[in-house]
Amino acid sequence: MPDQTLTKPLTKNICPQHKPPDIERYQDNGGYSGWRKALGMAPEDIVELVQKSGLRGRGGAGFNTGLKWSFVPRGKGSPAVKYLVCNADEMEPGTFKDRLLMEQNPHLLIEGMAIAAYAIEARTAYIFIRGEYHLAAVRLEQAINEARQAGLIGPDILNSGYSLEIYLHRSAGNYICGEETALLNALEGRRAIPRAKPPFPQVSGLWGKPTVVNNVETLCNIPHLIELGSEWYKSLGRCQDAGSKLFGVSGKVNKPGTWELPMGTPIREIIEEHAGGMRDGLKLKGFLPGGGSTDFLGPTDLDLPMDYDAIAKAGSRMGTGTIIVLDDHTCPVGLVLNLSQFFARESCGWCTPCRDGLPWVVEILTRIENGSGTPEDLDLLQEQVARMGPGNTFCALAPGAAEPLQSALRLFEEDFIDHIRKGRCPYR
Amino acid sequence: MSSTFEAEVIAVMEQNKAGEDIHKASLSDAEKAEIEREFAHYEDKASVGLEALRIVQKHRGWVSDESLRAVSAYLDIPVAQLESVATYFQLIFRQPVGREVILLCKSASCWIMGCAHLQKKIQEKLRIKPGEITADGLFTLLETPCLGDCDNAPVMMINGEMHRHLTEATVDEILDNKIKTHRAKGSCHAGPDTD
Ligand SMILES: Cc1cc2nc3c(=O)[nH]c(=O)nc-3n(C[C@H](O)[C@H](O)[C@H](O)COP(=O)(O)O)c2cc1C
Ligand code: SF4
Ligand code: FES
């Protein structure tokens, strides 16, 4: 009997002390019943159900998943070859949620991918996993093999006439591959530079074929959503956003970690209850709500619910939902410098504001951090922020890099000025 | 954490020591067989470029110019195209690396938790800077972006194995253990280099 009272669909099988469930244990626990149900449904009904449920992409942008799927040309007269790609590149600083799902419950992802592929009529799917995730890759390969042996993927699945192959592609360490069109170039064996949009991948993606790229966590939401329905799914959220979400906290809190919680859980609850609050003697100075490419928020924002629109209204993004906490003993200029170094290094070099602007930002911030900055440097930084803003570059890496910088300049202005006035980093 | 990968790499590297012409300009049968298995997964041969480079690197430790040319000839893709892929990815090594490749996370959470001290410790102990290889060929240090283990920061990965909640003392211990293991196996000469 499907359990309508389920509140933690993503992690119900996860117990860190145990090995991840193999296919037998996974199925004993109700696994693959979403997939069995989906196989009896028409693809367009699945797309509609997912769209109605309000599931939004967990890769950072928060786009309605069903709506994304609906852009794929389907049915009679549509291209015969289509692809589903699972984005498991997870390299955004401070993000550690997809690894948990893949290592601890690999079958959930395989099941979600099977349903998604069926819904968009794809017969080949790829998991694009970052090269450093060895354990996750090994466990996923094993899960793929088990599912294939059980006839749950492969040719003519459960006599339905539908066939699906899932392949694992190991990348080799490159943040920009997480950008979906760069990822497609990487899969095609090319240098992973983002592509111009339009055309969007749903129409012309991998090898020019209609392709959907979804995040690991997004796909892990699908099996229970199909099994238990969109009303159940909506009821999981504590706000207008549907479902549950993996939230994480890192930084100097007592119990850093990841928890599956209702969408819309207040940030204060996540940091103070689940992460155990700040370490002794430290105060929260600010935080990045959803990974390294989101705007800083401050202590007055702690009562915001973690939902896409509320965080956007406050001037940031929920991004990946993994919070990085900045304490009052850590230098905000140093942290922004660290983030900028990351983005400068990971820039693909295609557009000028990103390729040339980011190293410049690093140079200026280094100067300020080392005590030789000038007040004019702050204007220079503002100028760079404007140049890297949305619309000036080929992909969202540069605008993402600008977010922590622009918000730090505003929220921690005093700290920047203090560095310049004192001629040294006051935190050292 | 599982270290299946580490065992695999060490085994392959032991093998490497034996063959002098490991960087020869043609692919071995084993390499070809592994690459061919990948063909079935993609629409065209050119798409397996990265997979092929990784397979070759697994067997040879790193990707020399000769190796790159061999892959390019085998896949029938221009050297320049393959090189543009090879140089794009930090885990494809276009120069020799140590037997143990240390990926030290330098991203935000690990930075907050003090990875700068760890880096200093490693550099002083091994007398290398990022990108360099110790004189005994045992270690290479690479700075790496977020390893997706931020709740256990600071962290590093050595040949596929994660090391978490690091302090200068535990880093010291981990490196000493590696040195001891390799010396016992005779896979590096004893010397002052990494003491
Ligand atoms: C520089 C950059 C890096 C990205 N990295 C990732 C990533 O590692 N994983 C991910 O799922 N999405 C990443 N994204 C977002 C993807 O482009 C894409 O929006 C996402 O995979 C779509 O999946 P979703 O709709 O399920 O969220 C990145 C975007 C940019 C601009
Ligand atoms: S914004 Fe940066 S990463 Fe994105 S395409 Fe331009 S140069 Fe490349
Ligand atoms: S920042 Fe080091 S593991 Fe994420």
Instruction: For residues A390 and A259, state if they share a domain.
Output: no
- Out of B77, B84, B109, whose CB is closest to A250? B109
- Whole-Å CA distances, A262 to A104, A240, A322, B111, B151: 20, 11, 14, 30, 20
pTM assigned to the model: 0.94
Q: Return phi, psi of residue A344, to 5°.
A: -60, -40
Q: How many CB atoms lie within 10 A of CB A30?
A: 17
Whether pLDDT at A1 is above 90 = no
Q: How many CB atoms lie within 10 A of CB A260?
A: 20
Using a pLDDT cut of 90, give the percent of chain A over it: 96
Instruction: For residues A38 and A136, state if they share a domain.
Output: yes
- Is A132 in contact with B103 (Cβ distance < 8 A)? yes
Distance CA A366, CA B61 (A): 36
- Is A131 in contact with B2 (Cβ distance < 8 A)? no
pLDDT per residue over A363-419, tens digit each?
999 999 999 999 999 999 999 999 999 999 999 999 999 999 999 999 999 999 999
**Radius of gyration of chain B measured on its C-alpha atoms:** 18
Contact B118, B129 (CB under 8 A): no
Q: How far is the CA of B151 from the centre of ligand 3 (A)?
A: 8
Range A182-210 average pLDDT: 96
Identify the domain containing residue A412 by its residue range: 332-422
Whether pLDDT at B4 is above 70 = no
Which of A90, A102, A135 to mutate to probe the B interface, most B CBs <10 Å? Answer: A135
| Interaxial angle between packed helices B49-60 and B4-18, expressed in degrees from 0 to 180 and rounded to the nearest 10 | 70
Atom of ligand 2 nearest to the CA of A176: 3
- What is chain A's mean pLDDT, rounded? 96
Whether pLDDT at B28 is above 70 = yes
pLDDT at B194: 43
DSSP helix, strand, coil percent of chain A (3-state; round to 5) = 45, 15, 40
Contact A344, A292 (CB under 8 A): no
Instruction: For residues A164 and A194, state if they share a domain.
Output: yes
Contact A244, A6 (CB under 8 A): no
Strands (E), B41-185: 100-105, 139-144, 156-158, 161-163
SS (H, E, C) A196-251: CCCCCCCCCCHHHCCEEEEEHHHHHCHHHHHHHHHHHHHHHCCCCCCCEEEEEEEE
Range A278-302 average pLDDT: 97
What CATH code is carried by the domain that includes residue A125?
A: 3.40.50.11540
Nearest CA to ligand 1 atom 28: A179
- Whole-Å CA distances, B76 to A179, B79, B86: 28, 9, 16
pLDDT at A296: 98
Nearest CA to ligand 1 atom 8: A90
Instruction: For residues B74 and B145, state if they share a domain.
Output: no
Whether pLDDT at B15 is above 70 = no
Single residue among A300, A327, A354 that ends a domain in this structure: A327
Residue among A185, A191, A350, A385 to mutate when testing ligand 2 (max atoms within 8 A of CB): A350
Instruction: For residues B116 and B181, state if they share a domain.
Output: yes
Ranking A142-151, A216-225, B177-186 by mean pLDDT, the lowest is: B177-186
Whether pLDDT at A138 is above 70 = yes
- Is B150 in contact with A170 (Cβ distance < 8 A)? no
Ligand nearest to the backbone CA of B145: 3
- Is B146 in contact with A94 (Cβ distance < 8 A)? yes
- What is chain B's mean pLDDT, rounded? 88
Any atom of ligand 2 within 6 Å of the Cβ of A368? no
- Is B146 in contact with A345 (Cβ distance < 8 A)? no
Using a pLDDT cut of 70, give the percent of chain A over it: 100
A18: in domain? no
Strand partners, A168: A127
> Running DSSP on this structure, what letter comes out for residue A269?
I
Range A243-251 average pLDDT: 98
Whether the CB of B42 is below 8 Å from some CB of chain A: the reply is yes
Instruction: For residues A299 and A172, state if they share a domain.
Output: no
Distance CA B75, CA B44 (A): 10
Range B101-107 average pLDDT: 98
CA distance to partner chain B, nearest, from residue A125 (Å): 10
What CATH code is carried by the domain that includes residue A259?
A: 3.10.20.600
Residues of chain A in contact with residue B55, where contact means CB-CB under 8 angstroms, are none
Range B75-85 average pLDDT: 95
Q: Which of A383, A96, A80 is nearest to A249 (CA)?
A: A96
Whether pLDDT at B11 is above 60 = no
Instruction: For residues B75 and B109, state if they share a domain.
Output: no
Whether pLDDT at B7 is above 80 = no
Q: Write out the H or E segment, with its range, that includes residue B173.
A: helix B168-185
Instruction: For residues A208 and A283, state if they share a domain.
Output: no
Any atom of ligand 1 within 6 Å of the Cβ of A90? yes
pLDDT at A29: 95
Q: What residue type is assigned to position A275 of the chain? A: A
pLDDT at B195: 41
Number of domains in chain A: 3
Three-state SS for B166? coil
Listed by number, the residues of chain B in 89-118 with a beta carbon closer than 8 Å to a beta carbon of chain A are 89-92, 103, 106-109, 111-113
A412: in domain? yes
**Which residue of chain A is at minimal alpha-carbon distance from B91?**
A172
**Which residue of chain B is at minimal alpha-carbon distance from A206?**
B43
- Is B145 in contact with A346 (Cβ distance < 8 A)? yes
Q: How confident is the model at residue B189 (pLDDT cuts 50, 70, 90)?
A: low
Number of domains in chain B: 2
Any atom of ligand 2 within 6 Å of the Cβ of A398? yes
Whether pLDDT at B92 is above 80 = yes
With b for 16 or more beta-carbon neighbours within 10 A and e for fewer, the B161-193 pattern comes to bbbeebeeeebeebbeebbeebbeeebbeeeeb
Instruction: For residues A318 and A343, state if they share a domain.
Output: no
Single residue among B86, B113, B145 that ends a domain in this structure: B86
Ligand nearest to the backbone CA of A94: 3
Whether pLDDT at A57 is above 50 = yes
Distance CA A51, CA A340 (A): 36
Whether the CB of B177 is below 8 Å from some CB of chain A: the reply is no
Identify the domain containing residue B124 by its residue range: 100-185
Q: How many CB atoms lie within 10 A of CB B125?
A: 18
Q: How confident is the model at residue B3 (pLDDT cuts 50, 70, 90)?
A: very low
pLDDT at A16: 79
Whether pLDDT at B49 is above 90 = yes
pLDDT per residue over A301-354, tens digit each?
999 999 999 999 999 999 999 999 999 999 999 999 999 999 999 999 999 999
Residues of chain B in contact with residue A130, where contact means CB-CB under 8 angstroms, are 148
Listed by number, the residues of chain B in 113-132 with a beta carbon closer than 8 Å to a beta carbon of chain A are 113
Distance CA A111, CA A33 (A): 9
B190: in domain? no
CA distance to partner chain B, nearest, from residue A231 (Å): 33
B193: in domain? no
- Whole-Å CA distances, A107 to A218, A289, B142: 14, 29, 33
Q: How far is the CA of A199 from the centre of ligand 2 (A)?
A: 18
What CATH code is carried by the domain that includes residue B109?
A: 3.40.30.10
Range B82-98 average pLDDT: 95
Distance CA A176, CA A377 (A): 28
Residues of chain B in contact with residue A333, where contact means CB-CB under 8 angstroms, are none
Instruction: For residues B73 and B11, state if they share a domain.
Output: yes
Whether pLDDT at B54 is above 90 = yes
A286: in domain? yes
Instruction: For residues A284 and A409, state if they share a domain.
Output: no
